[in-house]
Amino acid sequence: MNINPIYYYIAALTGFFGLFALLMLWHTVLAPSTHFPVALVLLVVVTPLLLPMRGLLDRKPKSCAWAAYVSLIYFLHGTAEAYVNTDERLYAGLEIVLSLMLFFGTAFYVRFAGKQS
């Protein structure tokens, strides 16, 4: 059974843009921080996700691998947030699912796109 690597890439992009949208909405509209400025929270939370974005959109294998590594940070944050904060458990669960989608999508895309070349 051969699955086209483009499907893994689509899953990775879905996870990436879903995670980006979730983080932007979570920290601005849904549950803004009362202790820190919103701009600072967005700078700290969203910037690591944007670092491999250009290469990910260009389908570069190294950038896809780095996006997979960066997604693990969001997985850890989501699991910690789901454990600690019961009020925002839904958002944390979405963060976990989207970060895993990004991780597995990029990992399988790099793995199977390299085999086709």
Sign of CA dihedral 24, 89, 83, 37: positive
Instruction: Check residue 4 and give its pLDDT.
Output: 87
List Cβ neighbours of 28 (8 Å cut-off, separation of 6 or more).
38, 42
User: Which of the four pLDDT bands, split at 50, 70 and 90, describes residue 117?
Assistant: low
Is the pLDDT at 26 greater than 60, yes or no? Answer: yes
Instruction: Check residue 115 and give its pLDDT.
Output: 65
Per domain, the residue ranges of the chain are 5-116
Instruction: Check residue 2 and give its pLDDT.
Output: 75
Instruction: Check residue 77 and give its pLDDT.
Output: 95
CB-CB contact of 71 with 19 (8 Å): yes
User: Which of the four pLDDT bands, split at 50, 70 and 90, describes residue 113?
Assistant: confident
Is the pLDDT at 1 greater than 70, yes or no? Answer: no
List Cβ neighbours of 71 (8 Å cut-off, separation of 6 or more).
15, 19, 99, 100, 102, 103, 106
Residue 88 CA to residue 64 CA, distance in Å, equals 29
Instruction: Give the distance from CA 1 to its chain's centroid.
Output: 28
- Mean pLDDT of the region 83-96: 94
Between 33 and 41, name the one with better pLDDT: 41
Residue 99 CA to residue 32 CA, distance in Å, equals 21
